[in-house]
């Protein structure tokens, strides 16, 4: 089942032309998770009965490996499906579509502003480091030196960002950001009746599956 989800996410990513980015971002998340799952559950699983190998305190058990593999597969499916969505979705369009459906308009601002800011911050950090190096910053060895270097770079960055946020707040306020009421988006939203039907069907199916598992579990726990 998880393999089918992985395959579907992969096919969607290939169709959207983001397969390589999804694979890279997914690997960055799933590979460390898989290695640690193997290290934790594969080597140390005291409940395991079938011992495959014994290396000092570590016991490789079939049960531990199966447990690790099951969770890695499920996490990989989760990561692949969500990354296939987030790397394909156009943030501007997503923002317009969400606001039109009654999501607080503030979410759109935060989403778009964060992604824009994240791109600018690494450049800003480089300039701050260059400026501090020009003033004679040398990163000394040891925790003290690193702490000082971190302070000399972090404080100017935070000062500048918070100060700019204050200025932006005035600009946003002047443009009526905090006023209630309808927002009009200039972006046209590509949609079709088939897509709309599919969305509703998928939402209803997810709700039904979740309810079919969650309700008996809660009822069973309460009984």
Partner 1 sequence: MSHPLTAEAPRRSPLRTVLTVLGALAAAATFVFLILTQPGEPVDAPSASATLIALTGYGIATVLLFVGILPTLPTATLALIPVALVLNIVLGQFVGTALVPIYLDSIGTVLVAFLAGPAAGAATGLLSTIVWSFFNPTLIPFAAGAAVIGCLAGLAARWGAVRRLWWLPLAALATGFAAAFIGTTVALAVYGGTATGATGAVIAVFRAAGDGLAESVLKGAILSDLVDKLVTFAAAAALAYALPRRATQRFEFVRRHRVLAAPRKARDSEAAPAA
Within residues 45-64, the interface with partner 1 by CB under 8 A covers 45-47, 57-58, 63
Show contacts with partner 1 in window 9-48 (CB under 8 A).
25, 28-29, 32-33, 35-37, 39-41, 43-47
Q: Give the integer Cα–Cα distance in Å for 95 and 81.
A: 20
Q: Does residue 88 interact with partner 1 by CB under 8 A?
A: no
Is the torsion defined by CA of 89, 92, 95, 96 positive or negative? negative
Contacts of residue 102, Cβ cutoff 8 Å, sequence gap at least 6? none
Q: Does residue 204 interact with partner 1 by CB under 8 A?
A: no
User: Given the structure tokens 């996410």, which residue do they identify?
Assistant: 9
Q: Does residue 136 interact with partner 1 by CB under 8 A?
A: no
Least distance to partner 1, CB of residue 198, Å = 22
Is the torsion defined by CA of 27, 31, 32, 33 positive or negative? positive
Please give the DSSP secondary-structure letter assigned to residue 54.
Answer: E
Q: Does residue 7 interact with partner 1 by CB under 8 A?
A: no
Of 150 and 198, the one with the shorter C-beta distance to partner 1 is 150
Of 53 and 162, the one with the shorter C-beta distance to partner 1 is 162
């Amino acid at each position: 089942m998880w393999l089918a989800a992985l395959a579907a996410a992969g096919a969607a990513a290939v169709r959207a032309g983001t397969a390589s980015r999804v694979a890279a971002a997914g690997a960055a998340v799933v590979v460390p998770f898989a290695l640690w799952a193997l290290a934790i559950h594969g080597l140390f699983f005291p409940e395991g009965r079938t011992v495959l190998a014994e290396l000092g305190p570590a016991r490789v058990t079939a049960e531990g490996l199966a447990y690790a593999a099951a969770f890695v597969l499920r996490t990989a499916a989760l990561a692949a499906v969500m990354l296939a969505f987030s790397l394909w979705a156009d943030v501007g369009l997503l923002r317009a579509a969400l606001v039109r459906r009654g999501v607080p308009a503030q979410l759109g601002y935060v989403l778009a502003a964060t992604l824009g800011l994240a791109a600018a911050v690494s450049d800003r950090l480089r300039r701050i480091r260059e400026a501090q190096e020009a003033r004679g910053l040398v990163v000394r060895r040891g925790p003290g030196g690193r702490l000082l270097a971190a302070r000399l770079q972090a404080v100017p960055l935070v000062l500048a960002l918070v100060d700019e946020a204050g200025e932006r707040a005035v600009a946003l306020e002047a443009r009526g950001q905090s006023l209630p009421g309808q927002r009009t988006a200039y972006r046209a939203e590509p949609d079709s009746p088939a897509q709309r039907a599919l969305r509703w069907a998928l939402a209803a199916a997810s709700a039904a599956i979740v309810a079919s598992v969650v309700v008996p579990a809660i009822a069973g726990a309460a009984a």
